[in-house]
């Protein structure tokens, strides 16, 4: 069945309403809440160096037997600083 131009208009309107809704949804997304890399003595040296370089050291302390194990249910831990961002000055 060929689409009449009236139908096309209707599909376009539905499409635009959908896009508008999607935009509103994305703009309302919650702010980022994941903790940043702490600004204390322990972590200060990781604030400025290359992220990949820094990430090699995190698990020296943040491992199951370490000083501060990752909490239960922690998301996949690949690339720490991707989520726990460095505090940029």
Task: Identify which of 30, 31, 42, 33 has the alpha carbon closest to the alpha carbon of residue 84.
Answer: 33
Shortest separation between residue 28's beta carbon and ligand HEC, angstroms: 20
Cβ distance 69 to 62 under 8 Å?
yes
CA 68 – CA 41 distance, rounded (Å):
15
Which residues in 31-70 contact ligand HEC (CB under 6 A)? 33-35, 37-38, 40, 42-43, 46, 54-55, 57-62, 67-68, 70
Where along the sequence are the contacts to ligand HEC (CB under 6 A)? 33-35, 37-38, 40, 42-43, 46, 54-55, 57-62, 67-68, 70-71, 74-84
């Amino acid at each position: 069945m060929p689409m009449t131009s009236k139908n096309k208009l209707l599909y376009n309107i539905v499409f635009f309403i959908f896009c508008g809704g999607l935009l509103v949804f994305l703009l309302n997304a919650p702010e980022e809440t994941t903790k940043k890399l702490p600004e204390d003595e322990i972590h200060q040296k990781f604030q400025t160096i290359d992220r990949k370089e820094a990430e090699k050291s995190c698990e020296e302390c943040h491992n199951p037997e370490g000083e501060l194990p990752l909490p239960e249910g922690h998301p996949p831990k690949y690339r720490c600083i991707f989520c726990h961002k460095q505090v940029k000055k």
